Structure 1
């Protein structure tokens, strides 16, 4: 049996709870939130015990009440404070994205985890999914030859005009519009494809980015909000170049194209763990260069992981990351969701987000380690 406790019971916590049900070997020991009313609604809906305070959750003397892992699902501005308290109390931590909104705080979390020999990781975890692992396998097997260039899009349409006031989680939590607009779409979303690319191609050495706030007055009373558009060119240590775009203005587009010597590897949706991966070959016909109208669908040769449940509005299994970390803790091995990986992801994401103020070339100080693929991502169907 694996054990976790949850801090933060807002909108995203329902996605985790529903996803954790796909792993019956995981038990939620306790949940806590500073909003006691929200905590009660969440706990009643999911039938989980609660802690009256953060101190009660962290300082229990009962060994059976100490979880193997704490899920930090709080507001992004609280990630650093909560994760630091958990690490200092001796707990392994899996944090919702970002690891921290300030890079110096992310470095401090990384340092504490290393000094205490604790596991520290952050979302998103979709790079552990069937679709991302299939893309990586296609790259490893060079189905389209050597990868040269990547285009990754994470546009979510004109969100400020959407009826987001009606977006309610499964247990009744409202979509946190204020947090989303103040934190920004780059910190919230860029990690979905950045983590895929870091997994496949390794560390990013240089970032040239720009970000801007296009839509003003998304919140009342002239509250300051984050950039709602960003674009970056990423220079990987391996030589690959990638362009990534995030926004909440342009029409929905979550497409990924890996342009290779002989064709393209394509995915149309990063937020669907079961999205279709395709290859599109390039050839010459009658003195013209043609990108084929026909594609080949790629499938793994065997089962992968439990998919996210159909109930709810997400097609991602949010428990893949915590489960990988729990397995690593039990097996006493380095996790695929490592602290180094989380730190590098945080630095690259902040470099893009903060490009509104820090223009020009940004050289990364962190790196990420090579990691093995998931054990089930070893072969494609013929």
Structure 2
């Protein structure tokens, strides 16, 4: 059981998802919480019975040096809050993205390195059972040599959804205006990008396009692209195609096409989603994947899981817990350093691709991620 102290800055919709995961980690203590909205702060702290801080400085003062700040603010505030926490000498785990500009993400990582601090980035589903199982299957060669990957992060026609009725456990509304301005690529691409980078290391070239296909969304603009399609060329030779949208029918599949068949998982936001393998066969001269794929399981015990809430069944504290373990063990967190910066860089390249960007060469590189001990 991991023990440690955390602080939360930002009490919006996503903060409740982190707090729902807290029951799986009884060794964690919330020292203080702060939000610039006093009413939202009061409602959040009353619901979860956690202490409110009078300001950012007071929150940071309540955190011991080996503790961890969870930056759960809106993306437009990520750089400012991350910089302030690092300047105060604290480790930081930030909701995606680290910053809205690659140069800012690199600057933050350099500051963390100089100060000997951890700076990590969500999403942490890459540390969950589904991602780790699929990674183990790849390393084991179950599908033979992988040749290509298709990944989808389509969430349905969200502009017509009843999103005004989406309310978190402590009463925070889904921040639809900020979500539309930030864009589905910045918000969601990391869920599968993190898996791909963990398995294959850094992306060499991004060839992408993005567009706003529904121009009349609710809220003040400008709005971000609501559709992006990217082909990713990795240094290791892997090629992957990633699609993000809030217009196409819901589809969260990832398929790894190998010489021997196809590995797949159908739910990026479910830590316990089944991983399956369909071997390739020839039936009456027809080449096909076997229609009854077998489920792939890890042999040992896996982490406990949260129950589904809304669209997700994810332990949002997997990342902070891994970072606290890394701090205690004196090693780099799996989600920190160049991994976090590269994840941000690739995501921004896809989001900002537009119509004419062409091939974009990535600046930052990182190695594949070390598997979790229970998935080796």
Structure 1: state its 5+ residue gaps.
Answer: none
CA–CA separation in structure 1 for the residues paired with 2:339 and 2:66: 23
Once the two structures are superposed, residues 245-279 of structure 1 have per-residue CA deviations (whole angstroms, 9 ceiling, x without a partner) of: 00000100000000001100011111000001000
Give the C-alpha shift of residue 312 in structure 1: 5.9
Contact in 2 for aligned 1:4/1:67 (Cα 8 Å): no
The number of equivalent residue pairs is 374
CA–CA separation in structure 2 for the residues paired with 1:34 and 1:167: 22
Aligned to 2:206: 207
* 1:9-28 paired onto structure 2 within 5 Å: 9-28=11-30
Q: Secondary structure at the match of 1:281?
A: strand
Aligned to 2:315: 317
CA–CA separation in structure 1 for the residues paired with 2:34 and 2:193: 30
Q: Secondary structure at the match of 1:376?
A: helix
CA–CA separation in structure 2 for the residues paired with 1:205 and 1:242: 12
Aligned to 1:4: 6
Structure 1 residues 312 and 181: CA distance shift in structure 2, 3 A: closer
Aligned to 1:265: 263
Equivalent of 1:38 in 37, 40, 51 = 40
| TM-score, normalised by the number of residues in structure 2 | 0.97
Q: Secondary structure at the match of 2:24?
A: coil
Give the C-alpha shift of residue 284 in structure 1: 1.9
CA–CA separation in structure 2 for the residues paired with 1:376 and 1:251: 35
Contact in 1 for aligned 2:65/2:89 (Cα 8 Å): no
Aligned to 1:225: 223
Give the C-alpha shift of residue 56 in structure 1: 1.6
Aligned to 2:365: 367
Contact in 1 for aligned 2:34/2:59 (Cα 8 Å): yes
CA–CA separation in structure 2 for the residues paired with 1:104 and 1:253: 32
Contact in 1 for aligned 2:205/2:361 (Cα 8 Å): yes
Aligned to 2:215: 216
Once the two structures are superposed, residues 168-204 of structure 1 have per-residue CA deviations (whole angstroms, 9 ceiling, x without a partner) of: 0011000000110000000000000000000011111
Bigger shift: residues 290-299 or 204-213 = 290-299
Aligned to 1:181: 180
Give the C-alpha shift of residue 67 in structure 1: 6.1
**What is the aligned-residue RMSD (CA, Å)?**
1.3
Once the two structures are superposed, residues 107-144 of structure 1 have per-residue CA deviations (whole angstroms, 9 ceiling, x without a partner) of: 11011101101000010000000000000000000001
Structure 1 residues 252 and 195: CA distance shift in structure 2, 3 A: same
Q: Secondary structure at the match of 2:205?
A: strand
Contact in 2 for aligned 1:230/1:352 (Cα 8 Å): yes
Once the two structures are superposed, residues 216-235 of structure 1 have per-residue CA deviations (whole angstroms, 9 ceiling, x without a partner) of: 110245x2100000000000
Once the two structures are superposed, residues 317-336 of structure 1 have per-residue CA deviations (whole angstroms, 9 ceiling, x without a partner) of: 00000000001111112221
Q: Secondary structure at the match of 2:180?
A: helix
Structure 1 residues 311 and 209: CA distance shift in structure 2, 3 A: closer
Q: Secondary structure at the match of 2:172?
A: coil
Aligned to 1:280: 278
CA–CA separation in structure 2 for the residues paired with 1:248 and 1:311: 19
Aligned to 1:145: 144
Structure 2: state its 5+ residue gaps.
Answer: none
Structure 1 residues 50 and 67: CA distance shift in structure 2, 3 A: farther
CA–CA separation in structure 1 for the residues paired with 2:32 and 2:367: 33
Give the C-alpha shift of residue 309 in structure 1: 3.5
CA–CA separation in structure 1 for the residues paired with 2:112 and 2:22: 25
Structure 1 residues 213 and 365: CA distance shift in structure 2, 3 A: same
Aligned to 2:93: 94
| TM-score, normalised by the number of residues in structure 1 | 0.95
CA–CA separation in structure 2 for the residues paired with 1:311 and 1:351: 31
Determine whether 1:72 maps to 2:74.
Answer: no
Determine whether 1:157 maps to 2:156.
Answer: yes
List, as ranges, runs of 4+ consecutive aligned residues in structure 1 with deviation greater than 3 Å: 64-67, 309-313
CA–CA separation in structure 1 for the residues paired with 2:293 and 2:81: 47
Give the C-alpha shift of residue 358 in structure 1: 5.5
CA–CA separation in structure 2 for the residues paired with 1:226 and 1:337: 26
CA–CA separation in structure 2 for the residues paired with 1:216 and 1:201: 36
Contact in 2 for aligned 1:149/1:242 (Cα 8 Å): yes
CA–CA separation in structure 2 for the residues paired with 1:311 and 1:220: 26
Aligned to 2:51: 49
Equivalent of 1:340 in 338, 341, 359 = 338
